[in-house]
Amino acid sequence: MKHISFHILLLASSFAMASVVFGQKDWSLISNDEGIQVYKSNMENSNYKRVKVECTIDGNYDKLIHILNDVSHHKTWIYNTKNAYIIKQVNPYEYYYYTETSLPWPMQNRDAVVHIKIQRDAMNRFLSIVAVGEPGYLSTFAGKVRVPRSANSWYVTMPAPNKLHIVYVFEADPGGHLPPWLVNTFVNKGPYESFKKLAELLRK
């Protein structure tokens, strides 16, 4: 059962919320390893948990934007991503993309369509990224469960040269019949593994 973990927690690259940090929430720290802190809090009208990741890692805005925009390679670092590709490119800082997350049998894979917008402050004081699920944007596929609700946000600053401080917040309803108690038990696994690999990519 451990392999079921929180596969759908980092769908994609999916990634962002209408509010950069979802306002003030009661966050509980659930893991703190290698400088990557993972928190959880309750979601309104849902039995699933909202997740926040906070960390300071090597890198700069340009590298992070490049990695996020390289959607076809999300599977190399976003936890259990099987496939991802851009559906529509609005401009270099806005696009729609498709992502599929693997789940072990007998669970069905989850997929999502995500609308992402990247805003870079003109004075380089911060980078803001907001991505919201658009489940009706693309027809569903047989054998996959479309995620009905997902959103995540990134608020990124550079406290020192070649250092990124990231606050990432994610929430989703995975759809189908994944028990909330099971998903919430492994809520830290996907975010931690994804940010660990992201840190490795940013160091290259």
> Could you read off the pLDDT of 102-141 as tens digits, one per residue?
988 888 899 999 999 999 999 999 999 999 999 999 999 9
Average pLDDT score over residue span 86-107: 93
E strand spans, 43-148? 49-58, 81-91, 94-101, 109-120, 127-133, 144-146
With bands split at pLDDT 50, 70 and 90, how would you rate the model's confidence at 22?
A: very low
The model's pTM: 0.86
- pLDDT, residue 25, reads 64
d(CA 70, CA 109): 22
How buried is residue 155: exposed, middle or buried, by Cβ count under 10 Å (0-12/13-18/19+)? middle
What tokens does 14 get?
Answer: 């999916």
CATH for 2-203 is 3.30.530.20
Half-sphere CA count of 20, side-chain side, radius 13 A: 12
Average pLDDT score over residue span 146-173: 96
Question: Domain locations in the chain?
Answer: 2-203
Q: Are 184 and 171 in contact (CB under 8 A)?
A: no
